[in-house]
Amino acid sequence: MKNIAENLRLYLVGQPDPELDLAAQALGQLSTSLAIIQIRSWETLVRALEQKCHLVITRDDLMSASAEQVLRKVRECYPGCPVILLSRRGGYEEAVEAMKMGFSDFVLKKDEDWSRLLTSVSSTLEKVRSDQRAARLEVRLQALLNRLNVGVFRTSMQGELLEANRSFLSMIGLAEIPVQPPLDLRDLHLRPSDFHDYLTQVTETGHVPAYEVQWKRKDGRALWVALTQTVTRTEDGLTVIEGILEDIGHRKELESQLRQSQKMESVGKLAAGLAHDFNNILTIIQGYSSFLLEEKVSPEESQEALKQICEATNKAAGLTRQLLTFSRKQLVQPRSINLNEVVENVLKLLQRMVGEDIGLECHFMPSLPSIMADPGMLEQVIMNLSVNARDAMSGGGKITIASTVVTIDPEVPRLNRESRPGRYACLRFTDTGCGMDQNTMAQIFEPFFTTKTSGKGTGLGLATVYGIVKQHRGWIEVSSKVGVGTTFQLFFPAEQISPPRENREHHFSLKGGNETILIVEDEKPLRKLVSDVLKSHGYVVHEAHSAMEALRTWASQIDKIDLLFTDMKTPEGLTGFQLAEALLARKPDLKVVYTTGYSLDLAQNKVNLDVGLNYLPKPYQPAQLVNTIRKCLDLRNKR
């Protein structure tokens, strides 16, 4: 007979009886490795159960205890241990009753035939061995899962954590799975709306691959992760979500470095075009300024000259803002934006960058839904695609940028595995360049892959585009034909409600005051301009060219100064922020308005800045200055 019961212990329980001795001999034929221990009394059974047993066979006539008592004692020690009832009497009703009590089987012994008992024991031991193999496999799998450097977890459909490996717990800063209260995955999301988004996706599609999102550890620290999740059903019939969690913080840091490198490369290419634009603007300003200095200028001519100077300075300010936004190193700062406006904002730079031999054409969908995105990053995407298109059209050509809305029906089969059901704002970028073959298209998003000659490209442009689009939970579809051109389609999840487009016309209701203001600005002409504007609106003004001079002025005017208007960058080693901090320590109700022409310094200071309230970016109009000062002074009990 097949050896099916190695290393197993079988207890044969019953008062001394030659028939049980025969039963033990018959059972011994199943395997030489099967240990059969005969138990003659209740006391012996209690002692024997101190060691692991795998199967118990009990008679229904144990002298000091009933078979049911034996069953309860065995299950008390080993809940899963099978117990077979061996009886000399009874029939169908007795067998049913035994099974109801919890016995694994009921064997009626008649004459010298042990075949029924051997069959029952064989099948039971086979199940025991199968359970052992499954248990060992589960232990090995659990050990394997705990050695993985990715998190593996299971949650309810509502997000309650049910199971997880050590890596998952380590990533979120826990030693074990909380029981009361249970851990809810929505509490781990840095933005609660992200949890709702992915839960909707996984519920609708059944599977979400590599969903990138920011979580927070239990200690509050931010954590970039990639989630791959699938809806499945457990052996108990429970519908759950099973997932894999990958810590992508290091990758995000490298992507940020790549984007910064690509930004700097693109800024260098823009330098010549920007110099051309600024020289044009300076020529306009210098020309009209000289014209105004002439003696014979009519009021009408003066008005027109001043209007042209204002328009030129506005254009210069716009170019400066674009360059700062494009080149600064920053974290993702998503807000509700319109793709059409993002493209419009960089059109001037695009035309200068691609050159006069390449036409630039735009087709915007008027009612395009808004998206949540970082405008600076999307501008970089457009710049990188433009550089790529320009290099593909060495003999000239045309770039066409179009926007549209796309709705993906969950019932319609999807050709792109990255696409998901929903409504999307789509940006289509087409060139008439040399095009690509299939082998090239398969590699274009790989970092450092380039078809350009040495020194002509880093191979980071399209990799950066891909990373930014993925970071915004979108995807890219590419089509190309050699000798015809290439089209990139970028899909971004649309917001439910599109906000109205910004009104670019600013109307100011100017209101002055009689408060005392301390101005800190190292640029003398600008300091004089600010002083003159504020004095003309009734304010008392004290000027300082540095933070140190401001401190000296403050010492003699501390009771009179109501507001500090300071540049963030000041000479003599003390920043505007540090100056404000020192003065606020002495006068907590002091109002402060910061100003700067930079962008990097703002992120380096722990102060909440609100444009038009306590922050005025350069360049600014006199009306903006007056309104910001008044709003800040009118604000009570807030910095």
pLDDT digits (tens, 9 = 90+) for 223-280: 899 888 888 888 778 899 898 989 988 888 887 777 666 666 655 555 555 666 677 7
End-to-end CA distance of the chain: 88
Q: Provide the CB-side half-sphere exposure for 268 (13 A, CA).
A: 6
The CB-based long-range contact list for 583-592 (8 Å cut-off, 24+ gap) reads 583/554, 584/639, 586/558, 587/558, 587/561, 589/637, 590/561, 590/562, 590/563, 590/564, 591/562, 591/563, 591/564, 591/632, 591/633, 591/635, 592/563, 592/564, 592/566, 592/632, 592/639
- Strand 358-363 and strand 335-337: the pairing is unpaired
240 forms beta bridges with 156, 232
pLDDT band at 343, cuts 50/70/90? very high
- Which domains, and CATH codes, for the chain? 8-144 (3.40.50.2300), 148-247 (3.30.450.20), 254-266+327-493 (3.30.565.10), 516-634 (3.40.50.2300)
Q: Tens of pLDDT along 154-198? A: 999 888 889 888 888 888 888 888 877 888 888 888 887 778 877
pLDDT on residue 548: 92
359 forms beta bridges with 398
pLDDT on residue 419: 81
Residue range 35-39: mean pLDDT, rounded: 88
| pTM of the predicted protein model | 0.40
Please say whether the beta carbons of 237 and 354 come within 8 A: no
Q: Provide the CB-side half-sphere exposure for 303 (13 A, CA).
A: 3
pLDDT on residue 21: 81
pLDDT above 60 for 564: yes
Q: Tens of pLDDT along 358-392? A: 888 999 998 899 999 888 788 888 988 988 888 88
pLDDT on residue 501: 47
Q: Take residue 7 and report the two structure tokens written for it.
A: 């290393």
Cis ω before 79 (30° cut-off from 0): no
Residue range 408-433: mean pLDDT, rounded: 82
pLDDT band at 322, cuts 50/70/90? low
When the pLDDT of each residue in the chain is averaged and rounded to a whole number, the result is 81
pLDDT above 60 for 83: yes
Q: How far is CA 613 from the centre of its chain?
A: 31
pLDDT above 80 for 613: no
